[in-house]
Amino acid sequence: MANHVYIKKKISPYNKTIQVSSDKSLSIRTVLLATQAVGITKISNLLESEDVLNTLKTIKKLGIKFKKIKNFYHIHGFGLNGFTPKNNTVINAGNSGTLGRLILSLLIKTDKKIKLIGDKSLSRRDFYRVIKPLRLFGANIKSKKNSLPITIEGTEFIRPINYLENIGSAQIKTACCFAALNSPGTTFIRARKSRNHTELLFKYLNIPIKIKSNKIFDLIEVKGLQQFNAFNYSIPGDISSSSFFIVLTLLSENSKIKILNVNINESRIGIIKILKMMNAKVSFTNKRIYKGEKTADIFVKSSKSLKPINCPASLNSSAIDEFLLIFLIAATKTNGISTFKNLEELNKKESPRLDLAIKFLRMIGIKVERNKNNIKIYGKSKLDLNGNYNIKNFLKDHRIFMMSCIAALTLGGSWKIHDKDSINTSFPKYLDILKNLGAEIN
């Protein structure tokens, strides 16, 4: 079957309420934590995308039983280090950096040899970021180039660590917290701020965790070897998936959208803060707290033109997966120069997203200047495209495919966008929701 879509028409005005897929970070974390809990965890509204399905396949290979009953995944945990894999088990994290990095951290004490592999994109990504702290815990890790394939053979001689996480990566921080679960004594992590779902889940599960925060860092203490009980969790909507519709609405004319029950954790809403600084009409209603996580409905209205932004680098981590969309807004909805700094982490995602975003913006006629990992975008609002655009060779990155659809539906021109299947990684229902809003996509 064809793996591309054609978009040749802008989307017509709409006024709709939608629900996006469930949060990917919370889906992967709750499944992995369920494997270390005692008893049957029940997770509803689990995201059923490839990254999460690969998480389920992985825990199955490690000896964890689960079944789906109606909307609930029932996962049978045997407590800490409760995996029972066969020797030389091969686990495949597919495209998921989060799964790949986090599963290693739960295997530091396994008594069998486990090999971790992934797809082409994951195989070119850096794993030294987690290999380094996990070796300090005592784990036995072998990897030729600090990337996949990796073999891990646990050891009995695990010790807690004192670690500085200075990138602002939630994956590294979480790997340290997860490894701390199976370590005796207290692990200390000084972590540059990043999404804090793991810490909130630990608190909710009564895992002994203490956090002291300043503006830039969190000092996290986790006391290890404390069993915790199975739990119930209902996963809210994903702000990263919502962002495509937020930006679609801002770029469209006379449209409104309400997105129901989205996780709006402070450490995830960088895009909302940035859009508000640009004067966008985005608001939260029906705010609630669910097991420590904030949720709300998000309301967005089309905006005329927006202000360019000098984006504070302190927001980078909380908007890390949304920069492609933020650049699109800066490029096509503002008149003036927007600046973004210290974006080195963007090139370490499923594709080198900083390089590819610049290539994309230049392709649609936007001037972009780059100095190392800082960029200036020269905004051109009222950009009206009428050429042919072929989005190919963007390394099958799901977020590049989805952002390209938003550009195609709002800027004009005739688009052929390749690698449709990439959406299965994070948001399989993406095109169906766009079509329900009236988008013509073939």
Interface with ligand S3P (CB under 6 A): 25, 98, 169-171, 174, 194-195, 320-321, 345
Q: Which of residues 76 and 173 has its CB atom nearest to ligand S3P in the complex?
A: 173
Q: Which of residues 209 and 320 has its CB atom nearest to ligand S3P in the complex?
A: 320
Q: Which of residues 193 and 333 has its CB atom nearest to ligand S3P in the complex?
A: 193
For helices 97-105 and 128-137, give the axis angle rounded to 10 degrees. Answer: 10
Shortest spacing between CB 25 and ligand S3P, in angstroms: 3
Where would I find the beta strands (DSSP E) of 291-434? 293-301, 336-340, 367-371, 374-379, 385-391, 412-418
The neighbouring-strand residues paired with 67 are 74
> Which of 238, 321, 397, 419 does the annotation list as catalytic?
321
Query: Could you tell me which of 292, 136, 104 has the C-alpha nearest to residue 207?
Result: 292
Contact 178, 106 (CB under 8 A): yes
Q: Which of residues 98 and 422 has its CB atom nearest to ligand S3P in the complex?
A: 98
Q: Which of residues 76 and 129 has its CB atom nearest to ligand S3P in the complex?
A: 129
Shortest spacing between CB 253 and ligand S3P, in angstroms: 31
d(CA 191, CA 373): 22
Contact 401, 360 (CB under 8 A): no
For the chain, the distance separating the N- and C-terminal CA atoms, rounded to the nearest angstrom, is: 13
321 is an active site residue? yes
Residue number closest to ligand S3P, CB atom: 25
Contact 288, 294 (CB under 8 A): yes
Shortest spacing between CB 195 and ligand S3P, in angstroms: 6
Question: Amino acid identity, residue 110?
Answer: T
Shortest spacing between CB 422 and ligand S3P, in angstroms: 14
Contact 221, 188 (CB under 8 A): yes
d(CA 41, CA 49): 20
- Helices marked H in 138-188: 170-181
Q: Which of residues 195 and 418 has its CB atom nearest to ligand S3P in the complex?
A: 195
Shortest spacing between CB 29 and ligand S3P, in angstroms: 7
d(CA 377, CA 362): 10
Tokens 């490894």 sit on residue: 179
d(CA 242, CA 259): 7
Shortest spacing between CB 210 and ligand S3P, in angstroms: 21
Where would I find the beta strands (DSSP E) of 31-171? 38-44, 66-69, 72-78, 89-92, 113-117, 140-143, 150-153, 162-165
Q: Which of residues 114 and 343 has its CB atom nearest to ligand S3P in the complex?
A: 343
Kindly list the distances between the CA atom of residue 306 and the CA atoms of 78, 120, 325, 354, 423, in Å, as whole numbers in the listed order: 53, 38, 14, 22, 29
Q: What 8-state DSSP symbol labels residue 79?
A: S
Shortest spacing between CB 305 and ligand S3P, in angstroms: 30
Shortest spacing between CB 115 and ligand S3P, in angstroms: 22
Q: Which of residues 55 and 332 has its CB atom nearest to ligand S3P in the complex?
A: 55
Q: Which residues are catalytic?
A: 321
